[in-house]
Structure 1
């Protein structure tokens, strides 16, 4: 069984895979992995992968150091089952490349846009030849709401949940509608632009934030909250024998 450790900007996820199937996902603080001992006692784990977008503290490093299984520490030198054309692979977030690895596994001969809506919103493109062409990074939902409050003198901090109108009728709905509609139109714009160049484009939506947006291209969108975990599992399996 595979142990997948995904340490993000907000939370850490510890997942168990049996082959390509998810068995369990445990959510943790990204400042500790206290669940590791119980998870490893519950399952027979053969190998694992660690991917992080933050610098790990001594506690997590100690907890990982106590694991007795072979580990892949994902970095720019880790072999990938796709071709990485990013100019600076050492600066590429593991979650970005893992998401396209997973999408490519499901549709290896398709042009794919992966939209990951988490702390940031990322847009990643992998072509039908299995070449990761790169992607863009945009502020996420809560980042946008906080920025409007922190970088202005009087605008309040507005919660994402609540009334959303075509045009806001007060400051609260103006901010919420502006942010959510802005994200909606941004996503639709990326899809439309790439769809024009790649008519058979497939679109994956993943990440921690939920969006409801109307688009004529909605039929080409696949929602998969665990896309990054699946990509990390594929990378681990691809490196089996190298660890």
Structure 2
């Protein structure tokens, strides 16, 4: 069994995976070492991996290294091997979550070009081409980030959050913000998908991240919406390093 930790901007997601299947999943706004130790005691994983958007919480590392037969850190382990190659000119600055999501999508569809859209605090658009080469990608502000930016950097615009019904045109300031932000992201996503399909007609599009369900039904193109890409990718990295 593998212990997978995905430390994001707002929470740490934990998955315990056995033979590629999740047997436990949870998100912790603040994960304490004793909670982590209790999970290890209960499930007894042999291997583990962590990926963080910043750096892993130092309170966890001694525990993980002591209690697991093998522990990998995607942030600072120079010996870690990836099943895909990276074409990024500054791989040290490439988000670990972006690498993991790319590996996860490639694990599911290795035979076709891939566009991976991760809709979280930021929205990332990454491209992987067969036989498994990460070409690069772009970063854009996420849904909540855009709402906060309009509120924080203006004097009078209110702070709002997403709603299910989005008008074509706002007739109140709140509706104008909602429609402008949501439709702006939808047009942006559709634009990236159209460019990808123009270059690679058989490309598969994966949509992941916390806001993936919100946007999936609003896009013109069929996507593979999955909240599991990051942990699937991290689990595949464990398996790949175990095989070496």
TM-score by length of 2: 0.92
Partner of 1:167: 169
Write the mapping of 1:1-243 to structure 2, written as runs, cut at 5 A.
Answer: 1-30=1-30, 32-61=32-61, 63-64=63-64, 66-75=66-75, 77=78, 78-161=80-163, 163-209=165-211, 210-212=213-215, 213-218=217-222, 221-240=223-242
TM-score using structure 1 length: 0.92
Q: Distance in 1 between matches of 2:238 and 2:57?
A: 23
The answer to which of 70-79 and 91-100 deviates more is 70-79
Distance in 1 between residues matched to 2:142 and 2:61, nearest whole Å: 29
- Rounded to whole Å, the distance in 2 between the matches of 1:45 and 1:57 is 20
More deviation, 229-238/23-32 = 23-32
Question: Any stretches of 5+ residues in structure 1 without a counterpart?
Answer: none
Per the TM alignment, residue 162 of structure 1 is displaced from its structure 2 partner at its CA by 5.3
Change (3 A) 1:168 1:193: same
Q: How many matched pairs?
A: 240
Q: State how far apart, in whole Å, the 2-side matches of 1:153 and 1:89 are.
A: 39
- Distance (whole Å) between structure 1 residues aligned to residue 46 and residue 235 of structure 2: 13
Alpha carbons 2:56, 2:75 under 8 Å: kept: no
Q: CA RMSD in A?
A: 1.8
Does structure 2 conserve the Cα–Cα contact (< 8 Å) formed by 1:28 and 1:35?
no
